[in-house]
Structure 1
Amino acid sequence: MLLIYTAVFLAITTSSSVVAEQARLSVEYPERVDPSVNFTKLFSQSVVFPHAQWTKETWNGITSYAHTTPLRCFGSDSAIEYDIAILGALWYNLVGKAHLTPLPQVLPSILPPAIVLARFGPNGIRQGSRRLSIDRINVPTKLRISDHADVVDCGDVPMVYVDNKVALRQLELANAALLSQSSLRVADGESLAKDGKFHPRVLTLGGDHTITLPLLRGVAGVYGPVSVIHFDSHLDTWKPSKMENSPWLPGEEIPVTHGSYFWYAHNEGLLASNNSNIHVGIRNSLHSWDDEEDDYKVGFVISYAEDIEEVGWKGIVQRIRDAVGDNPVYISLDIDVIDPGMAPAAGTPEIGGFTTREIKKILQGLSGLKVVGADIVEVAPGYDTQDEITQIAAANIGWEILGLMAKTPLVVVIIGGGPAGLVTCKSLLDAATGKFPFDPVVLEQESDIGGTFRYRSYENANLVSSKQLTSFSDFRLPLSHPDHLTLEEYVDYLRAYIRHFNLESRIQLNSKVIKVERGPNGGHIVHWLRKEPGSGNWQEEYKSRSQLAGRRLMILGTGETGMDLAYEAAKAGAREVVLCSRSGFLSVPKALNDFQIFGLKFESKTPVPIDSLITNLAETAYVHPWVAASHIRWFISDFVVKRVLWVLTGTQAGCNQL
């Protein structure tokens, strides 16, 4: 039987060889290659896929994260500028992880057990990003990262594996070197950095979670203390303590581990105060209830994994936003925040985690936060499936984080908390887009909003304009409200406007701007002083009638305020009041009630605001587009008004309402 199979096989191969030989002989090869043939173009993938060059396809080229440009950031390419750097941290804590990683027999026995994960963590995430690209559009967020930021892959930081302290110091120095540079693109808003410059941001791929500590040191050096959003199944804020029979000698320092690095970060002043840091996805067991108390003392609040069932991803997003507020944000994500069914290659897996879709929705919901740095850690490719699902999940999470960095808001400083400042703040928030992520902040020198209407008001003062023209189009006063507001009522209206559009967190009171100058790397630097509440006003001015009694007054100007002051002085019993004007003027009532024109008497039980009457007559009538484009009605109005004023008063200076 074996002989028969062999004979058949030989017959088949022989016949195939004959066919192949005949086919080869039938081909006529040219004696020389035609030099006019462009073989580069002939074999280019652009012939088949005209939308992209072959060098950018997912299956070839140098393996960098999401096909970002690879650079020698610590060598020959150190002078090249960019906006975001991808950095690999090839390191695992020998103290915290040695018991978790079995040593394959193929590795020499002299290597520490954790070297398996340390060598392949960042590279595994890069492998998982092969089908991603910063040039592609993230459909849910409507964002193409490369439209907003130049992203490069700086490779991996050389870190020794025999000394934890030295390895962390190497990472800290490398990260600080990247952060100290100037970014390629300069935003039009205010920089978040302490020096007013724009610096690159770093997304670090790990690696052990202990790397977050040296990374936070670098970030805090540039931006000051930051709010941390910590995605993890464990708290990682455990307070180091020596147990009985511990191997450490009296007075000997306990090294930082993957479970205590946030405790050290808090003690070093790297974390934002007032518990504006948050854990997300926590579901680990505790040694005692003291763990949560210590966690709160470190500065964190907790959102548990089970919250996804109670409040959904939107509720978790709101809790994150409530915690971090307007602070610069650092995102640290342990891959074990995802359920091990979808990300099994984690250092310390815990069941009951988020799905990949849930974590993507939560991250996308954080759009607009001031993300200044991030890391993705604890990815252990040696534990992954053949489909590399953990590495693919980590890579896609990094892509979402890059989108958040690319959309880091443009800080716009608005000087003054009066009506114009408040409306500008609200309008910028409405106009914010992925391309222009405006992040307005209002600096008001006084202890309350309202501006002139609050701090330069006086007793019995009222608005001249009616509520129809004074109230904002998107926040109308009720019809039952009187036509003309007192200044106190108007300031209350502005407060209601702030509450309605949630502008409270955007306003900084007692903040006086003293100088605005161009930043050294673009944008502007705003210098302002913080005034302690109750330390006095910035200016002194008229407030009540009692200041005018028995005095001789000269009032410069015959506008609404001048006429008001003259009336108040007369009612207060001033000895003499003199109104000074450059030329004649005409005063008319702000509301028409009983009046007479050419002997005709008009009476009305309800006064009609004159400004709304003029507006209704002149601005709501149909105007032909040609008339509007030529501005002819403005010329006619100007001509008529000036002549009427001249006839009535002998001047064309203006018309005031009382």
Structure 2
Amino acid sequence: MKKKRNTDPIQPVSGTKVPRFAGPSTFARLPELRDVDNCDIAIVGIPFDAGTSYRPGARFGPQSIRQASRHLRTNYHPNYDVEPFKVQQVADAGDITCNPFNIDEAIKQIEVGATELLKKVGGIISLGGDHTIAFPLLRAMNKINNGPVALVHFDAHLDTWDTYFGAPYTHGTPFRRAREENLFLDDSSMHVGIRGPLYSREDLKNDESFGFKIIHCDEFQTQGTDKIAERIKKRVGNKPLYLSIDIDVLDPAFAPGTGTPEIAGMTTREMVNVLRGLSGLNLISADVVEVSPAYDHAEVTSLAAATIVYELTNLFAKVKR
């Protein structure tokens, strides 16, 4: 594919011209980053899962999410009334190569890779990979943003534990490490979808001391998605926003293919409705992590993740408009 020299975005390969099971293996069959001149949003894979504490396999998440994204019809989103790939250039940047055996080295590689990518594009959506990757991604955001960002973290778990078996870098510790480096704004950040037992009651106290507010998963049943979205928007305000979405925020009925599933989670309908309710926030980048396709069936988890990524491209499109 030759580089396009005018200002019109290069569109995904149309499902009306090439069957959806064929064509490029990029996310939603978008162009590769190298084939576009100016890119607003880059989708990048980070196939790393050395920080997992239970079921591995999230290193295969990026390719699985891309494969599932073939199914999506992406031209027009009626809920946003936007054609997301016409108002902005979105491209697939491939994967950031990271050491699968050395976590310290991998964290450096992810930070450098994301920082260099952010110098070329307006924002990124990262496909994990386990949740360890959020820490170096937030480091990169701070370098590009020249300071901390608001963080909204969708997850069944807090991910603010100190260490796990003495290890400081795991998928359960990224936001503890991020807090220690002041990478997110403590007056504008929150967890959404938290549920299940904890190791200690001190876990919640520690988390509160880091500045997080929590929306527990049970609150979706009592308040509904519109109210939840309003609370998030009020908390974030006009701050630059980073969204970190662990697929295990969804109930295992909707996302079985993940490393640490927890019952009584969000439905996919609740997830997309909340995201749609965040339209208008100053979203700068995001990640979708913890898809482990070996534990999936019928691509339901990967399809959920791919759909969430597509929803995020529409949120970016609304910001651009």
Taking structure 2 as the reference length, what is the TM-score of the superposition? 0.91
Equivalent residue runs for 1:394-473 within 5 Å: 394-408=305-319, 435=321
Q: CA deviation at 1:133?
A: 4.8
Equivalent residue runs for 1:63-462 within 5 Å: 63-72=25-34, 80-94=37-51, 96-97=52-53, 100-101=54-55, 114=56, 116-118=57-59, 120-134=60-74, 136-181=75-120, 183=121, 200-223=122-145, 224-240=147-163, 254-274=167-187, 276-385=188-297, 387-408=298-319, 435=321
Take 2:303 and 2:206, find their aligned partners in 1: how far apart are those partners?
A: 35
Give every structure 1 segment of 4 or more consecutive aligned residues whose post-TM-superposition deviation is greater than 4 Å.
none
The AA in structure 2 aligned to 1:61 is G
Take 2:192 and 2:200, find their aligned partners in 1: how far apart are those partners?
A: 20
The AA in structure 1 aligned to 2:94 is G
The AA in structure 1 aligned to 2:282 is K
| 1:317-350 C-alpha deviation (Å, 9 max, x unpaired) | 1111121111110000000111101110011100
| 1:107-149 C-alpha deviation (Å, 9 max, x unpaired) | xxxxxxx4x431x210110111102254x11111111111221
Q: CA deviation at 1:357?
A: 0.8
| 1:163-187 C-alpha deviation (Å, 9 max, x unpaired) | 0111111111110001112x4xxxx
Counterpart of 1:146 in 2: which secondary structure? coil
Which 5+ residue runs of structure 2 have no aligned equivalent?
Answer: 1-13
Q: CA deviation at 1:52?
A: 6.7
Q: CA deviation at 1:70?
A: 1.8
Question: What's the Cα RMSD here?
Answer: 1.8
Q: Say whether the 8 Å CA contact 1:148–1:407 is kept in structure 2.
A: no
Q: Greater relative contact order: 1 or 2 (C-alpha under 8 angstroms, separation 6 or more)?
A: 2
Which 5+ residue runs of structure 1 have no aligned equivalent?
Answer: 1-50, 102-113, 184-199, 249-253, 410-434, 436-658
Counterpart of 1:222 in 2: which secondary structure? helix
Q: Say whether the 8 Å CA contact 1:271–1:299 is kept in structure 2.
A: no
The AA in structure 2 aligned to 1:264 is R
Counterpart of 1:143 in 2: which secondary structure? coil
Take 1:376 and 1:128, find their aligned partners in 2: how far apart are those partners?
A: 14
Q: Greater CA deviation, 393-402 or 124-133?
A: 124-133
Counterpart residue number, 2:9: none
Q: Say whether the 8 Å CA contact 1:67–1:133 is kept in structure 2.
A: no
Q: CA deviation at 1:227?
A: 0.8
Counterpart of 1:291 in 2: which secondary structure? helix
| 1:7-58 C-alpha deviation (Å, 9 max, x unpaired) | xxxxxxxxxxxxxxxxxxxxxxxxxxxxxxxxxxxxxxxxxxxx87634x41
Taking structure 1 as the reference length, what is the TM-score of the superposition? 0.45
Q: Say whether the 8 Å CA contact 2:43–2:94 is kept in structure 1.
A: yes
The AA in structure 2 aligned to 1:399 is Y
Counterpart of 2:200 in 1: which secondary structure? coil
Take 1:140 and 1:402, find their aligned partners in 2: how far apart are those partners?
A: 13
Larger Rg: 1
Counterpart of 1:288 in 2: which secondary structure? coil
- In structure 2, the CA distance between the partners of 1:268 and 1:67, relative to structure 1 (3 Å rule), is same
| 1:290-333 C-alpha deviation (Å, 9 max, x unpaired) | 11111111121000101111110011111111211111100000
Counterpart of 1:204 in 2: which secondary structure? strand
Take 2:179 and 2:210, find their aligned partners in 1: how far apart are those partners?
A: 6
Counterpart of 1:141 in 2: which secondary structure? coil
